[in-house]
Amino acid sequence: MLIPVILSGGSGTRLWPLSRKLFPKQLMPMLGGKTSLLQATAGRTVAKAGISSPILVVNEEHRFMVASQMQEIGVHPSGIILEPVARNTAPAVAVAALTAMQQEDDPILLVLPADHYIKDNEAFLAAVDIGVASAQQGSLVTFGIVPDKPETGYGYIKRSAGGAGEGAAPIERFVEKPDRPTAEEYLASGDYLWNSGMFMFKASVFLAELERFNLSMLQACQAATSGARLDLDFVRLDKTAFSGCPSDSIDYAVLEKTDKAVVIPLSCGWSDVGSWSALQEVREKDANNNVCIGDVVAEDTKGCYLHSTNRLIATLGLENVALVETKDAVLAAPLDRVQDVKNIVATLSRDNREEVISHCRVFRPWGNYEGIDLGERYQVKRITVYPGQILSLQKHFHRAEHWVVVKGTALVTRGDEQILLSEDQSTYISLGTVHRLENPGKVNLELIEVQTGSYLGEDDIVRLDDVYGRSGDAAVKGEE
């Protein structure tokens, strides 16, 4: 049996300000339409015969969005494993392999990052068929993208001599991201492929090689998996064990050390969607080679990526620039420098800027909320609750709340009473009062919340009951 393993723990820092820690690029429709990168990845293999439901390894803070997106496309994962902390791809694959071994008798795993773009799915699936044959023979397969330009943003894989063609070839060496002249040499030689970060192997073979080269990592993953517990539809790894696991990529931990690694060349219109320049290449362009998304007016502008989410972007005389606007941040950079956007994110993180963590609109399993205004001793939010959804039963020690319904119907628990509110009606939740908000209707409930008090932080939530199984300490992360 072939089981896809989809890795969805990344934060996509190079696509800031659109990609944020709590709402990263893999959960967004970065390529247009309504399908997220994660949904496209999950849908890429499910229709193929002989492929089982996927195992997803995700950041625990994204769990409800991931589960909702899988439900939207009719994919039922055989497991959604929650990483309590980020430990790179090797531990993520290890816990997936251990979980898969509990489901099947030594399955073949197809490891896929959640955030890649593949234009030609038939070519991709044909390469998967070739990979299955190699994996069954005990090889650790990686897929190398046939380069069409001297790319400096990817690592490379050099095939061993005589490894040309479509079949699997032994790997001579892995190469870090090269400079431009070196990349041009790699392209001209025909011996080098881009390292796609996609792999295939028997679960037992990978675990045996991990034991051989990094025993402490395997032991930590075994402890995290054996100590895991079910939480609704999720598998929560043992936090202490997984936090103690060494952090490393699958390339460094295993692939670069093993003698079992082979590479299969793949030409499928692939991109890792890792930067604004990568998006500029794969998105539809206008007559001046510009990608224009949202409300954009571009005069005498060429070869740019222009992305508006809230307001008009107007450009004049620009060339080869990325300009990305969100409600709370704007990025402007030459397209040949967008790989360094991660440096901006690092600076913002050091300054504890909220713009790194979340958008003005924050998504929750019950809906979303958006900050409208914030001042001394008051805060205003627009709250949307999806039909049939319900917030936790809670109280606050430092703030009172006033709710005004602007659309739909709200069922409000306030102390010992329940109140049904329709449009233009309101209620007041005094400080310390136990309360809950529910949407009993068939359309979205929208309301304006005005908070007043001495402290308005999201960690002033004492959660008494929650239908989503969130523990009280989750309120520290701002989970209403």
Distance CA 114, CA 7 (A): 6
pLDDT band at 479 (very low <50, low <70, confident <90, very high): very low
Element (H, E) at 211: helix 203-213
Q: Give tens-digit pLDDT for 321-352.
A: 999 999 999 999 999 999 899 999 999 999 99
Q: What is the CA radius of gyration of the chain?
A: 24
Q: Answer whether 31's CB lies under 8 Å from 117's CB.
A: yes
pLDDT band at 48 (very low <50, low <70, confident <90, very high): confident
Reported CATH class of domain 361-477: mainly beta
Number of helical H runs and strand E runs in the chain: 11, 30
Q: Is the pLDDT of residue 472 over 60?
A: no
Per DSSP bridges, beta strands 140-145 and 261-266 are parallel
- Annotated domain spans of the chain: 2-271, 284-342, 361-477
Predicted pLDDT of residue 478: 43
Q: CA geometry: angle at 221 spanning 235 and 208, to 5°?
A: 125
pTM: 0.87
Q: Give tens-digit pLDDT for 215-264.
A: 999 999 999 999 999 988 899 999 999 999 999 999 999 999 999 999 99
Q: Is the pLDDT of residue 75 over 70?
A: yes
Q: Give tens-digit pLDDT for 128-178.
A: 999 999 999 999 999 999 999 998 889 999 998 755 556 899 999 999 999
Predicted pLDDT of residue 107: 95
Q: Give tens-digit pLDDT for 403-434.
A: 999 999 999 999 999 999 999 999 999 999 99
Q: What is the CATH number of domain 2-271?
A: 3.90.550.10
Per DSSP bridges, beta strands 140-145 and 156-159 are unpaired
Element (H, E) at 429: strand 426-429
Q: Residue 355: how many CA atoms within 13 Å on its side-chain side?
A: 19
Give exposure, 178-217, as e/b (b: 16+ Cβ within 10 Å).
beeebbeebeeeebbbbbbbbbbbbbebbbbbbeebbeeb
Distance CA 225, CA 351 (A): 35
Contacts of 175 (CB under 8 A, 6+ apart): 155, 156, 157, 158, 186, 192
How distant, in Å, are the alpha carbons of 88, 131, 228 from that of 3? 20, 13, 20
| AA letter at 315 | T
Q: Answer whether 109's CB lies under 8 Å from 142's CB.
A: no
Predicted pLDDT of residue 474: 40
How distant, in Å, are the alpha carbons of 6, 138, 174, 437 from that of 142? 15, 13, 11, 49
Q: Is the pLDDT of residue 286 over 60?
A: yes
The residue among 165 and 86 whose pLDDT is bigger is 86
Proportion of the chain above pLDDT 70, given as a percent: 96
Predicted pLDDT of residue 473: 40
Predicted pLDDT of residue 164: 57
E strands of 98-223, at which residues? 108-113, 117-118, 140-145, 156-159, 169-175, 192-202
Predicted pLDDT of residue 97: 97
